[in-house]
Structure 1
Amino acid sequence: MRPLTRSSVAALLLSALLSTALLHTAPASAADGVVVANPDGDAVVDPTYATTLTVRGSGFQSVRGGHGGIYVFFGTVRGRWRPSQGGASGSGYLYVPDSESRENQGYQRFVAFPGSDTASSANGGTIAADGTWSTDITVPGALFQAVGRNGAVETVDCREVTCGVITVGAHGVSNATNETFTPVRVADLTGGGATPTPAPTGEQPAGGTTGPEQAESTDPAAVRGDGRRERGARPARPVAPELVVDRASASAGNALAFAATGLPPGTQVSAVLDDGAAAAGPFVVGADGGLAGVLTLPPDLGPGTSELRLFGLPEPLAVSFAVTAPAVESAAATGEPAAATQNQARVPSRAGLLFLAVGALALVLALARRLASRRHAQVRRAG
């Protein structure tokens, strides 16, 4: 056996170091995949009721102190959907809309890089150094309305297209390694894995009746034991659907609050402004038939009449209201400056007057000195 030379030993050490480095970095540079499970342990969501999915990822890229992380959505993809390949929201992939704030409805999750400058807004935890992460996401049902980045609204039915869990780079940072799509099935989960909500008014689920029109036969205060109605008892009357907005806040760039009553309980609806200028939702109607929400009016929305519509109902519900320009623009249009503008205008005016006064005084002093010098020179000549 020949003794090892110094160059051979160095080569062996370098090879060992490279192998160790590859073993430690491989999991964080190639996504191993995503595992999705409902409370029963299956990758299945209910078509009617909300389903909670536990999503676990491994092999994702984890960038210590990096900006952003990953978004976790539920939706569908088509074509070259990946953002790293030019895909975009509303064209390449569609998902259940939700607020991007930390306290949202659970339809979207933000999993941050460890030590990221955006970690404070994460609501899905962080990506560990080994590329693993876990979070829960809520799927409202098989039917939802997706709102693309361009404001276009499109209805998605997961009974007709393949839906699943989507992961993409967060906060506008494209990351091909962390882009995945994990399909799920749609099946009836009543009795397990789903969160039942009251049936819409007029529907009669097995085992009972619901809705105002069935109140005559189910209200114990209105019906005697022999089936005859008590004297003076009146059946509950259906409430006519109504949509109202806070007209005082209907100014371009403001958050517009709205509320609706008399809707079918448990129904998922989306709010759309005009022809897609802005949208929000989906919202789930409460058991009392009411809902409340907020929609931000576009800053460039011109003054005039706008219309807010609720979709997802048997018949669309709408309300028209007047939109005013922002306060600064209104003041400029009317030629009446606001109080702050008036105060700012007065300050420069006073400063200008003071500047003119000081300048005039300096000019007078300079002229006086010159005249004095001339007079002094004339006296010397005469003497």
Structure 2
Amino acid sequence: MKNLTRSFVAVATALVVAASVVAVTDAPAWAAGSVSVTGPSGSASVDADYATEVTVSGSGFQSIPNGFGGIYVLFGWVDDAGGGSWRPSAGGVVGEDYRYVPDAESAENNGYQRFLAFPGSQTESSANGTLGADGSWSIGMVIPGAVFESQDREGRISEVDCRRVTCGIITIGAHGVKNANNETFTPLSFQAAAPAESTPAESAPAGSAPAAAGAVRVGVEAGSVVAGSSIVFTGQGFTPGEQIVAALDGGLTAVGPLTAGTQGEVAAALPVPRDIRDGTHLITLRGAGSGGVAEAEVSVTGGTSATVAETTPVVPTWAIVVLLACIVLSMALVVTSVITALVRARARRRARRAPRVAPAGASAPPAGSGAPAASPTEPLPLSAGAPR
């Protein structure tokens, strides 16, 4: 009986140990998160030449309540998109195994980089958003175009052309925390790519001094805008920290000075006047320190200056000359008339003041001479016998 009991205990113990091993072996690992990107076309497709706003959503990420850090959502390139050797948890190094567009690590940045904090984290106030308890999240981002510049750990800057390599949305652990569960890469496709042989360096304006990051360039969010709105643009390749001024048509409107970021990037909105003419206009970015100049054309509609120009009469030059001559002649005549009137008035005054002289040979009548002559109207006396 005792042997039977011992055998039963041994078998039970073996079953418990085996069950524990199976439970540990079959325990599911944390599934890696998944990311989806929605652009203006409703898919993960963006413009190769201009900045594009997209919505990036994630699910299945590991959310750690009150945990330190969170995840970074980046736009960039990875060396081994299929194998995953680029991952920081697998030894991947920024600048060698993956690169991304740099941006300010603050809530109010240019939209190239986003920081999502764990719920209840101490850095939640400086984040662009927070992971949900179920590991889901959604955030808006800006894809600057197919070509960007990145910096490695030693500060060396290099250019990435997403028309030749695979680029997309990268998620990694924030603040140096390596977490394989939150490391993903989602590729993007680019439309309207320029020919491979045409590089920004070849199209750089002659005489401009390029920044250390390469040739400067500017991209606009939309190639056509309405008068009275704004042109949203991004610039790259300027000297980090230098001041940049953006102008429309050489100063019709301007914005700045803008300060280039750590990678020579800048972004802003340039107002478009309501009374601008319809047609193609030129936006220019000029760096004060490097002297770099980047230009892009924008089409404007809805302006009002064309109507005003058509209804405004143009006065010929000869008419203005004739008018001025008439005015001068009229003034000369007025002055001459005034002088003549003054001379004549002076002559009349002199004539009044001169004494009058009696004519020669005239004598005064003698005093006491005869009675005065009878008035011609007084009747003469009649004598006797004179006929009546």
Larger C-alpha radius of gyration, 1 or 2? 2
Q: What's the TM-score once normalised by structure 2's chain length? A: 0.48
